[in-house]
Chain A
Amino acid sequence: MSAAERKTMLLTTPFHSRVEQNCELNDWGAWQGYTTPNSYFDVELEYFAIRSTAGVLDLSPMNKYRISGPDAEAFLNRLVTRDVSKIGVNRVGYAVWCNDAGELMDDGTIFHLAENDYRLCSYMRADEWLEWNALGFDVTINNESDDIAALAIQGPVSCTILTLIGCEGLNELKPFGIARFDFEGVEMMVSRTGFTGDLGYEVWIDPSKAEALWDQLFGKGRDYLIKPIGSHALHMARIEAGFLQAKVDFVPAEIAVRPGRTRTPLEIGLDWQVDFNKPLFNGRAALLKQKEEGLRYRFVLLDVEGNKPAEHSFILKNGKQIGIVTSAAWCPTVKSNLAFAQVEMPHGAVGDEFVAEIYYQRELQWTRLMAPCKVIDGPLFNPSRKRQTPAPAH
């Protein structure tokens, strides 16, 4: 059924008929103009599917840009802060990009599909910015967001299920690698990537095969307890894995209105993404200057006492507010109460202790909790299966 027929302004993805059948809670959210489930049946059970069996997320709404031509690598190298030449053919790399002021615009992934041929997946729509960036470069930029259907299959049995639907030898694919298989006569691209910090894959296919792919996955995966997952379960998993989310953990520069609300990659724990050895990238001069003059904020991972998520909390030091929490969740697998926070410099060294001012509601009653918290080093959830090649069989 088209959006017009349903009288809603949201679009549906190529998997919609199947997603709708499974969305028992009828809990829909909007993602880039598409209707997608926040949850299907139970957020926590969906989360546990990711960690214990396999969770399937429809990521078709993701913005996908094809960047090709003789200058494709040079173009990307000026666009993003990392060195793109290090992403080999059939490899995927995480990347972030800034405007000239060094303000973070977005993060995403770069798929090196072939020589001079890349796909950039972004959270924000980037058509205009990419076109401006193309000035002076021999590249073609094509928004192929609607031309490709995509699913993420994440969790310990993800490799096993994909192998059952025809991805022979997938277990040999290294993290961030790309492999191609035949699926009912069309090419199915599988990358060992994801947003859960677990063993997992993303599958990219022509929209005409979307429903067949879903049916195959859930048919062969039934015995392995494959489950569809919504954005809320993904949110828990990505916090546990320490992944930032645009518009949640930072304000993309192009939509920031108030002065001072943007962050640079250096201020948000992404300094490892910034390669100053490159002679030029957008924001380089500004970031070098900031590096010299000092940062305003530091991104920290906090282990918060208790089990009340420190959502939207103030972070206090000796009673004075020095930071805010941008993402927080009780993370069931690591059994920790994690929070991402931005604190003013010079606070935030590993081991620093603060207080999170948490408000929570029980039966209409609001309670304030002053929870001690501590800066920790790196995400707590980091299973070996995420890195192992061949991927462990289950």
Chain B
Amino acid sequence: MTNYDAIVIGAGHNGLITSSYLAKAGKKVLVVDARSEAGGCASTQAFTNGFHISDCAQWVHQLDDKIVQELSLEMHGLRLGKAKRTIALQASGDHLTLDGDSLSGAEISAADKRAYKAFRSQMRAFGKLMLKLYRTRAPKMVDADWGDRMTLLSLGLGLKMMGRKNMQDMMRLVLINIYDVMNEHFEHDGLKAAVALDAITGTNMGPRSPNTVFTYIHRMVGEALGNRGVSQVMGGMGSLGGALLSSAKTQGVEVRLGEAVTRIIKTHDRVTGVELSSGDVVEATAVVSSADPTTTYRDLLGYRHIEAGQARRVEQYRTRSGTGKLHLALSGLPSFTGVSAEDHSQRLIIAPSMDAMETGLNPIKYRELTSQHVFDISISSIEDPTLAPAGQHVLTALVHYVPYKLKTGWDSDEGAREQLLESLLEQLEAYAPGIRDLIVASEVRVPEDFEASHGMTGGNWHHGELSIDQSLMMRPFPGSTQYTGSVEGLYLCGAGSHPGGSLMGLAGKNAAEEMLKQGVLS
């Protein structure tokens, strides 16, 4: 039997990035994934005849350019589309356009324009500071070693260097909610909602939830990493997975797709390998899981193989997502009122007001359907015609808020998905009259579906709520930080570890670097 230095569970972006960096350092690495395609959430799915959709993530806005360079992802076929503007659709038809720091729209005041620039500049400064922390393991506060102290020192220095005003603001803002901050800065309700959307995407939070400023800064790290707005991946999100896979293979990483890890094997007091769905047992010096912490500890290792306090942490780790998706195959280009034909390729959002968002969140707390959704729309086939038959289009939309589990059960209540679809289409129709007539095929995906298809507990693409008590030096939870598991031989490299989710890749890179630095594979 072959012995590996490391077995990486999951060929998502973080799993592949960890594998590549470990292999680059000369380690013998095996990656295993239950899915038949690499890429995890960066996946493309054949939808209906000739249509392809990015069936999980649809935007790239936080990918670390350094990783793209170091793993030669462009050479391996990664092509990102142009950075997109955000067009915030208004019921009045006077839409707003958010393009970098500039803001336009018939109803936008000069004061809002100035305030938007200032707000962005400040948030970017915070994002840059945060990036310092994101590029390394999060320092421990109690048992800090010299490396940790240096990180803290550098963070403190960075905070100080931002100037008194920014420093005070950061300390004040980081724990509060985006709702209050928006009202402090802006007048236009649509603008407030457009910014707030970026703060709640992928979470189970509303604009009034605490620490939604933190999540917004998390998003701004994307800009500090060199992303200007969101982009689509040419060929569909799966091409990012493909490029990562190809790069990993070039580094000598062995990849087994379509084979699930059924169990992490613990021998006496340390992890020694994994058991696969085929029944094969593969041994390694280390098992590195890019699966979410709940899947890793509860399902693969098993609570009985960790200490009870850790099991309690896992059980209490919040993973519920409130984001679903709408997929449409369209026979022609839909027409959003007041949006020029070419602007349909931009990012279109529907978020009328923060109050509407908050109201939309309320029912899902009780696992009920809401009638007021927020949309983040991509018609990717405009920039990339390969995704649909000639003249036809695919539309995908991130939809908030969709309950993870429905009180009556998504599958036991047979009409639930239809009801959701109907409600979504009705809301879309208001902005794009006639869109229904173009529909060739449609699908709604709820968080529970992502849990099943992509193995993410709670359907949460951050692998756990990105709130400050589950972030940084506390991600995923105390006792399992700095990429180590609570059991010897087990490591974490997924979005559930610092610095968390979205297609960023830093968790995977940091994990590999940390393992190499600690010399745990030698």
Contacts and interface: CB of A to CB of B under 8 A. Distances in A.
Interface of A: 71, 74, 78-79, 99-101, 129, 132-133, 135-137, 279-285
Given A99-B309, A100-B309, A280-B306, 9 more contacts: A132-B309, A132-B311, A133-B311, A135-B312, A136-B298, A136-B311, A283-B307, A284-B269, A285-B307
24 contacts: A71-B304, A78-B304, A78-B307, A79-B308, A132-B308, A132-B309, A132-B311, A132-B315, A133-B308, A133-B311, A135-B303, A135-B308, A135-B312, A136-B298, A136-B302, A136-B303, A136-B304, A136-B311, A137-B303, A279-B268, A280-B306, A280-B307, A282-B308, A285-B307
Given A74-B304, A78-B304, A135 B311 contact: yes
Interface residues of B, number: 18
B305 interface: yes
Nearest to A259: B142
A78 B305 CA distance: 9
B266 interface: yes
Contacts of A280: 269, 305-307
A100 B303 CA distance: 14
B310 interface: yes
Majority secondary structure of chain B interface residues (helix, strand, loop or mixed): helix
Which 4 A-B pairs have CB atoms at the shortest separation, nearest pair first?
A136-B303, A100-B309, A136-B304, A135-B303
B479 interface: yes
A75 to B, nearest CB: 8
A279 B302 CA distance: 14
Nearest to B314: A135
Contact of A279 (B266, B303, B310): B266
A74 B302 CA distance: 13
Majority secondary structure of chain A interface residues (helix, strand, loop or mixed): loop
Nearest to B306: A280
B142 to A, nearest CB: 10
B309 A282 contact: yes
Most chain B beta-carbon contacts within 10 A, residue among A74, A279, A281, A283: A279
Contacts of B298: 136
A284 B308 CA distance: 11
A274 to B, nearest CB: 14
Interface of B: 266, 268-269, 298, 302-312, 315, 479, 486
Most chain B beta-carbon contacts within 10 A, residue among A129, A136, A284: A136
Contacts of A129: 308
Nearest to B312: A132
A283 B309 CA distance: 9
B269 A78 contact: no
Contacts of B306: 280
B312 A282 contact: no
Contacts of B311: 132-133, 135-136
A241 B27 CA distance: 58
A135 B307 contact: no
Nearest to A281: B307
Most chain B beta-carbon contacts within 10 A, residue among A71, A78, A135: A135
B304 A137 contact: yes
Contact of A78 (B268, B308, B315, B486): B308
Contacts of A281: 307
A279 B272 CA distance: 13
Contacts of B304: 71, 74, 78, 136-137
A71 B303 CA distance: 13
A281 B307 CA distance: 6
Contacts of B269: 279-280, 284
Contacts of A100: 307-310, 479, 486
